[in-house]
Amino acid sequence: MPSTRRVRSTPRRPWETTAFALGALLILPLAAQADDPAPSLPVITQEELAQHDQPEDCWKAIHGKVYDISEYLPQHAGPPAMVEPWCGREATEAWETKGYGAAHSDAARTLLEDYLIGIYEGEPEATAADGQQD
Question: Residues of 81-119 as b/e, b for ≥16 C-beta within 10 angstroms?
Answer: eebeebbbbbbbbbbbeeeeeeeeeeeeeeebeebeebe
- What are 16-64's pLDDT values in tens digits? 555 545 454 444 444 444 455 546 899 999 999 999 999 999 999 999 9
Instruction: Say what the pLDDT of residue 128 is.
Output: 43
pLDDT per position as a tens digit, 109-120: 999 999 999 999
Q: Which is it for the CA torsion 94, 97, 102, 108, positive or negative?
A: positive
User: Which residues, listed in sequence order, are joined to residue 67 by a DSSP beta bridge?
Assistant: 60, 116
- According to CATH, the topology of domain 43-126 is Flavocytochrome B2; Chain A, domain 1 (3.10.120)
Tens of pLDDT, residue by residue over 87-126, are 999 999 988 987 777 788 899 999 999 999 999 997 665 5
